[in-house]
Amino acid sequence: MTELEKARKMLEKLTPLKGDCGKYCGARCCSSLEGEETGMLLFPGEEDLYEDLEGWRILPAGEDLLIICPGTCDRKDRPLACRMFPLLPIRKGEETVARIDERSRTVCPLARQGKKGMDPAFAEAVRQAGEMLWEVPEQRDFLQRLAREQEELKALRSLLGKA
């Protein structure tokens, strides 16, 4: 099993709340705006797992790949980015921490509440998955790109007075 597959496995059963948080918000993170398609970035190598799956499309997105899902999914098929949402593993010095994903702040009620409102086991699994992926060069590069994007979003929010 690759580190990527292990990370996906670690987050196959754990979710932000012990119950289904989608019940409370109408699964907002899975809904696209009318006329828009939203997707999520794939971790490097994850595209191989979707080759034979019907209803999923993969598009280029700069250095990375974006996957467009069918709108519902089996937990076993869920991309790692969705499994981690609304958290993201961020490297701080010599350690990895699970942080609220800046992209989730306008969508997810749990993100607004903060990490304390989530299942600690979920947050720890996101952290551990990130720590493990950090040891794989291509995954590390991807995590660094995500971290840069987070900083840009934070700066933008601050500029708009929403920090």
Question: Are 91 and 131 a contacting pair, CB within 8 Å?
Answer: no
Interface pick for ligand SF4 out of 7, 11, 29, 123 (rule CB under 6 A):
29
Quick one: tokens of 72?
A: 């519902």
- Rule CB under 6 A: say whether 72 interacts with ligand SF4: yes
DSSP-derived 3-state class of residue 3: helix
Separation between Cα atoms, residue 65 and residue 148, nearest integer Å: 17
Interface pick for ligand SF4 out of 9, 10, 22, 97 (rule CB under 6 A):
22
Interface pick for ligand SF4 out of 9, 78, 105, 145 (rule CB under 6 A):
78
- Rounded to a whole number of angstroms, the minimum distance from the CB of residue 95 to ligand SF4 is 25
Interface pick for ligand SF4 out of 10, 14, 25, 153 (rule CB under 6 A):
25
Q: Where does this chain bind ligand SF4 (CB under 6 A)?
A: 16, 21-22, 25, 27-30, 69, 71-73, 78-79, 82, 85-86, 107-110
